[in-house]
Amino acid sequence: MQPSNEHLIKQEAQRLGFLQCGISKAGFLEEEAPRLEKWLNAKMHGEMGYMANHFDKRLDPTRLVDGAKSVITVLLNYFPEETQKAPTAPKISKYAYGNDYHHVIKGKLKELVEFINKEIGEVGGRAFVDSAPVMDKAWAAKSGLGWIGKNANLIHPKNGSFFFIGELILDIELESDKPIHDHCGTCTACIDACPTEAIVAPYVVDGSKCISYFTIELKEAIPTSMKGQFDDWAFGCDTCQDVCPWNRFSKPHSEAQFNPHPEMLDMTKQDWEELTEDVFKKVFQKSAVKRTKFSGLTRNIAFLKK
């Protein structure tokens, strides 16, 4: 019996190193529309003006890709084998340890499209990795790759939440996967642990209160009212994931491009506080940390000083 197109795509996704692959029918995200509108109206996106742009495209992939019929969503693990060693050093979010994920995932998605064109037939479409108005977590949940937890992260029952999400939006008809149930139950670990109380209600994160927002997105000075609340995070924040019981199932990734620069894990508090631009360029040459630039990272480190 001939394997189905869906089976072939998932098999190839696995060969390329993706953790999971799921499929959904392309169409308007009806449930997400009122939630997104309410979130934007409450100004929970802070200075992230781009979040309010392309509202219609964000909710409907057929406006991004002509003739879109299917959304293929993939997950790529980034959970590291080792974390930073110095307990008092400024902390970097685990997703930024290695090479910038945008390039890594885009490369793999390009290979997946080439495979589909060769084995299934010519398709039209685009690859997306967190760089266009696509609601990644919503599509992943629709495709059965997990549920959106109380910390607004996608959680997979066997893999936790330390993974990146990418999509192919294609003009090919494929059979959809079914969503899975929410398994957060009565747990409030993420809400209780958030250093800045950014999880304002179960499943609702006020982006303008999140440490990731202050340390990455905010371009001007960090408000002094936040002093002493960052729990040593200098770029991003993993607290709500670190405390999530489902992340006991996280296993170290096997993607060499996500391995950290060897010097980074050994850097002491003093090393960080005396960081030079040359060291910044060497250690974070290919990392997402470059997004803050040297000036942004040193601003964050200085803000952490007691």
What is the pTM assigned to this prediction?
0.95
Given this model, what pLDDT does residue 18 score? 98
Closest CA to 257 of 97, 112, 110: 97
Task: Tell me the per-residue pLDDT of 60-97, one tens digit each, with 9 for 90 and over.
Answer: 999 999 999 999 999 999 999 999 999 999 999 999 99
Given this model, what pLDDT does residue 27 score? 96
Give CA angle at 197 (193, 202), nearest 5°.
80
| Cα–Cα distance, 200 to 146 (Å, whole number) | 22
Mean per-residue pLDDT, 44-50: 85
Mean of the per-residue pLDDT values of the chain: 95
Task: Tell me the per-residue pLDDT of 94-132, one tens digit each, with 9 for 90 and over.
Answer: 999 999 999 999 999 999 999 999 999 999 999 999 878
| Cα–Cα distance, 74 to 93 (Å, whole number) | 21
| Cα–Cα distance, 266 to 243 (Å, whole number) | 24
Among 42-46, 87-91, 92-96, 291-295, the range scoring the smallest mean pLDDT is: 42-46
Task: Tell me the per-residue pLDDT of 217-271, one tens digit each, with 9 for 90 and over.
Answer: 999 999 999 999 999 999 999 999 999 999 999 999 999 999 999 899 999 999 9
| Cα–Cα distance, 178 to 159 (Å, whole number) | 18
* Catalytic residue (one of 60, 66, 130, 182): 130
Mean per-residue pLDDT, 35-64: 89
Residue 181 has pLDDT above 80, yes or no: yes
Is residue 288 within 8 A of residue 100, CB to CB? The reply is: yes
Spans of all domains in the chain: 1-306
Closest CA to 199 of 152, 135, 264: 152
**DSSP code per residue over 113-181:** HHHHHHHT----EEEESSSSS--HHHHHHHTTS-EE-TTSSEEBTTTBT-EEEEEEEESS--PPPPP--
| Cα–Cα distance, 107 to 56 (Å, whole number) | 27
Closest CA to 94 of 153, 142, 41, 22: 153
Is residue 105 within 8 A of residue 248, CB to CB? The reply is: no
Is residue 274 within 8 A of residue 291, CB to CB? The reply is: no
Is 130 annotated in the active site?
A: yes
Task: Tell me the per-residue pLDDT of 201-228, one tens digit each, with 9 for 90 and over.
Answer: 999 999 999 999 999 999 999 999 999 9
Tokens of 166: 């990418």
